[in-house]
Amino acid sequence: MTDPLYTGASELEGRVIREVVAVAMDAPAKAKSGHSGTAMALAPLGVMLWSRIMRHDPTDAKWSDRDRFILSNGHCCILQYALAHEFGYDVSVEDLKEFRQAHSKTPGHPERGFTPTVEVTTGPLGQGISNSVGMAIAESILRADYGEELVNHRTWVIAGDGCFEEGISHESASLAGALGLDHLTLFYDDNHITIDGATELALRDDPAERFAAYGWHVIDVGDQANNLDVLEEATRAAIAETSRPSLIIVRSHIGWPSPTLMDTKEAHGTPFPPEAISTVKEFLGVPDEAFVFDPNNQRDLLELVAPQRAARTAWEARLAAAGEKGVRLLEQLDTNGAALVTTTADPYEGGTMVATRKAMQRAMDTYGPQTPGLTAGSADLTGNTGVELKYSTIHSADNPGGRQFHYGIREFAMNGNLVGQACHGGLRPVGSTFFVFSDYGRGAIRLASLSHAGVLFVFTHDSVGVGEDGPTHEPIEQLMSLRAMPNLHVVRPSDANETLDLVEQFLSTKEPPTTALILSRQDVPVLSGSDAAASAEGARKGGYVIRESEDAVFTLVSTGSEVGVVLAAADELATKGVVTRVVALPCWKCFDAQPLEYRTQVLRRSIPSVSLEAGATLGWTNYVDQAIGINSFGMSAPSKDVFEHFGIVPATVVAHVERVLSEGI
């Protein structure tokens, strides 16, 4: 028996679609907040995909060769929560009733780690599309490494008009087409409605022509959002495509089947009023009560997806038969491809001058071959940022096993892509660009931090040391801006050897924190003697004393390339009989996590202190009495002249210390 409202739907599928539509209204109404209309319109697509196509097993939500499902238009997350409940995942009716409430499994947008089936944290529109490209890349790499018998799953994405308008979708789709990611399928929910009104207010693109130009396989099913057979046929055509990603355009009607709210902007972000909910439920033939579910659905759906579940058990059998290769795959997935370090990088000679970005390349040369999950690339700056994998090959449609990525001039897409790679599992992605362009990737960096994705964002050319390129390319506020981001470890090494050590730490840690590594363009002194020993002992704690003296009357604190400057200032002050101590704080977040006793000993706030950093001074008063830095935009000149102009030189520190001591401040 087929459903009279949803063409091609079985009686079971029709029953489930109706319940999803109903709860898409009930949950936002109870929360007095949320987006009903899109979830209502997409319920048939979601049920078709989860029941007929998607390879998944509700009894094993984290099966590694499962298909990945990403809801890029995360505002309609009640759709995913309802599907997860219907198909037997650990999302209860009570969880649905707690939609958008504190500490629930059903937050207002999908958050990785909260809800079964949620693979990435989405919400800011378009980010999910970019994440999905990273997911598909991860699958293609692991499939190339271990073979189709062990890795062969697909990435399914639903995105809306807003996702397609955001610039990140353009960059990401272009990259996916260039890489020929044939295991990636994107459904475009073309409902013609945004918060302000009809999409025609600002959107006149032809998505079919646009994606065809990117090199995608495009299928337009037209006004068939309620026809499960048509949707299935298009989806299977996408599966049959073996050389390109696929776009399936679905013209839906937001809020269907509401006679008053369908195709209106009110159906987008406003909970349906009680009378509208009652009208829809009467039309659907479901009880006019909130959160009503047939208790047999989960059992029947579990039986319906038996072929997908059988795929899991068959995969487990192949994994066992693969022997050592299967063991390696499981280990790589378990450790996120962590480095197995048997050979450490050769240290730089103390007293020499080496840019920390150059140390990044040495780290890649040494630790890259020892890191099974490493991928590395840049936004067209590979030689500048030190992320060339000389032992590997370039990833491409013809070479999906390559670990070297050329993301092109696409900072938005690159950073979102890295998040997808990390959240997929098995990989440890590194991406790089100039520090000032971290602004282009900030949305993805924020979502990476929110979801604890193990990404290493490498940012070089970290200060006004960029010099002649001028203020457009000289970061000022970026360092403090990223330090303000929760969960993100912003790391600015004191010298080249400290860079080697901290890169090794990221690559070898099983679950590394989301990390932004900030490196210098210009050469900086390599620490030597006791200074180097202090760095080796304390850098991983985020802060340490480079030079200590019980007789010190002042503490000089710095990070990155300015550590050498304050050490020079300390030497000059010593010639004048002023004893100082020097502290480096390469990672504030790491330092703040240390025991209070350690932090107190390092900072020693009982004596005056000053910091020096070639960037904004905001935030430094947590660690020092006064801060020397740059609170204006930079200037175009040779770097030496720029540093002198802004006072990022030993003489500035010396003068400050002498003034404070003389005034008895």
Name the CA radius of gyration of the chain, rounded. 28
Phi, psi (rounded to 5 degrees) for 47: -65, -40
Cβ contact 387:458 at 8 Å: yes
Collapsing DSSP states into helix, strand and coil, what is residue 586? coil
Is 559 within 8 Å of 494 (Cβ atoms)? Answer: yes
- Per annotation, catalytic residue among 411, 474, 504, 562: 411
Q: Which two tokens stand for residue 82?
A: 């309802």
Q: What DSSP assignment string belongs to 351-402? A: T-EE-HHHHHHHHHHHHGGG-TTEEEEESS-HHHHT---TTS-B--SS-TT-
Q: In this structure, which long-range contacts are made by residues 400-405, counting pairs with CB atoms below 8 Å and at least 24 apart in sequence?
A: 400/140, 400/141, 400/143, 400/144, 400/179, 401/141, 401/144, 401/145, 403/141, 403/368, 403/374, 403/375, 403/376, 404/376, 404/377, 405/375, 405/376, 405/377, 405/378, 405/431
- HEC string of 42-94 equals HHHHHHHHHHHHCCCCCCCCCCCCCCEEEECCHHHCHHHHHHHHHCCCCCCHH
Alpha-carbon distances of 256 from 71, 264, 435, 436, rounded to whole Å = 19, 10, 47, 46
**Six-digit token pair at 496?**
């080249």
Place of tokens 């030497």: 571
DSSP per-residue codes, 192-258: -B-SSSBGGGT----HHHHHHHHT-EEEEEES-TTBHHHHHHHHHHHHH--SS-EEEEE---TTTT-
- Asked if 153 and 132 touch (Cβ cutoff 8 Å), the reply is no
Secondary structure of residue 431 in the 3-state scheme: strand
N- to C-terminal Cα separation, the chain: 86
Asked if 520 and 565 count as a contact pair (C-beta separation under 8 A), the reply is no
DSSP class of 620 = G
Spatial strand order in the sheet of 246-250: 68-71, 155-160, 184-189, 246-250, 217-222
HSE of 581, CA atoms in CB hemisphere, 13 A? 22
Q: Which of 131, 95, 128 is nearest to 114 (CA)?
A: 95
Tell me, yes or no, if 411 is annotated catalytic: yes
Task: Give the active site residues.
Answer: 411
